Chains A and B, each alone.
Chain A
Amino acid sequence: MSVATHPVPWGVTRVTAFDPSAPVDVPHVELDPVSQTGRYFDPAGRPIEAGRHGSGQVTSRPTKTAASDGQKRTRDDDSTLDYASD
């Protein structure tokens, strides 16, 4: 049996690209020092009237379980412990 050093896993053949037409504008977010909630600003620096947060319309991090809607970027994982054990 031959041993390949770095075989590309079969699972990689299953990757689908994100929707190219999705918007990628990312608002700037600052922390409100009093309420400790996020304050959102558009690329021109104007405050975004976000209403109730959590609906995901103006967020730069997705509120959904996977970024299928092209919101800028999703992290490649949601690891809670991003240090390697060795």
Chain B
Amino acid sequence: MTDAPVLVVTSVDDATADPVTQRLFERGVPVTRLDPADFLGAAAGMSARFGSHGMSGRVRTASREVQLRGVRAAWWRRPTPYRERAGGQERIARFAVNEAGLGFGGVLAALPDCLWVNHPWCNHAAEHKPAQLGTAAACGFTVPETLITNEADEARAFADKFAPVVYKPLRHAVLPAADGRDGMIWVGPVASTSLDDSVAGTAHMFQAQVNKVADVRVTVVGRRVFAVRIDGGPLDWRADYDALVYTRIPCPAEVGRAIHRYMASFGLLFGAFDFALTAAGEWVFLECNPNGQWAWIAEQVDAVADALADLLEKGRT
């Protein structure tokens, strides 16, 4: 058995990391939790050396020291954004954040012989919905008609032609609501008459609404696929968790093959796919979050945590 450590890259209060970390600990796998934002200040240290030998050096946290050349696997979860720790005047803070991302983030991204779940650059590429939709179609998924535009005329024409259509932002965002409180944007129906010139204000994504009987969340860990049918939810099931009923279901072989083609296209070992399930039994691709959440679904939390621990323990051997 190797004593090469597993790195869990996340914030201290990321509860989803705990069941996996606990499993690795109980199996005797050396595990180090690292929040790269701790490098901004003295809470953690990194020194990396480069030369003809390649990269060497170490990372030091409050309770661990890890050699950069000996990391078995790394799990990129939800580290604290550097900008939450960068102080000073705005341009100076931006400098600190950029240097941290390119320096600390760059060193971690360059870890030799390390199995990444997922490599942060792969996550970054796979987070872009246009790339998701294009790749999904190429992998054989059914993909809803979708428009990304800043042109109101195009948006109205699309909303009329494919009615009912929905609007969904390209990334989950916290924004001020009309009353000043924090709010967010749920996926919701769009009337073409509501679309005006403010569509020019940025990129807007519209999608033909799938006539669904349920949603399906598929959590993928390496070759393992965990499908959960979600019933009882509103159009955007995230808007009312209390209403949701989860049922583990098998994933059709054809969908599974498309999922693995998709994962390979982006170089992912973990992914959270959302599908709309039609009355005819078709699984319509909505999106894949390469770093999606999974631990809130009690029906799958142990199975997914086991699979992640297996993957990280095995490393690249």
Where the two chains meet, the residues of A that have a C-beta atom closer than 8 Å to any C-beta of B are 4, 7-18, 20, 27, 29-31, 33-38, 50, 52-56, 58-69, 73-84
Contact = CB atoms under 8 A, between A and B. Distances in A.
A80 to B, nearest CB: 5
Contact of B12 (A31, A76, A81): A31
A17 B196 CA distance: 23
B44 to A, nearest CB: 11
A55 B184 contact: no
Interface string B1-35: 00000001001111111110110010000011100
A65 B15 contact: no
Given A74-B174, A80-B120, A8 B201 contact: yes
Contact of A80 (B11, B98, B127, B188): B127
B241 interface: yes
Q: Which residue of B174, B194, B200 has the most chain A CB atoms within 10 A of its CB atom?
A: B174
Interface of B: 8, 11-19, 21-22, 25, 31-33, 62-64, 76, 78, 81-83, 94, 97-98, 100-102, 105, 120-121, 123-124, 127, 152, 167, 169, 171-179, 181-186, 188, 194-202, 204, 238-241, 272, 289, 291-293, 295-296, 298, 301, 305
Contacts of A35: 21-22, 25
A64 to B, nearest CB: 5
B124 A80 contact: yes
Contacts of B152: 10
A66 to B, nearest CB: 4
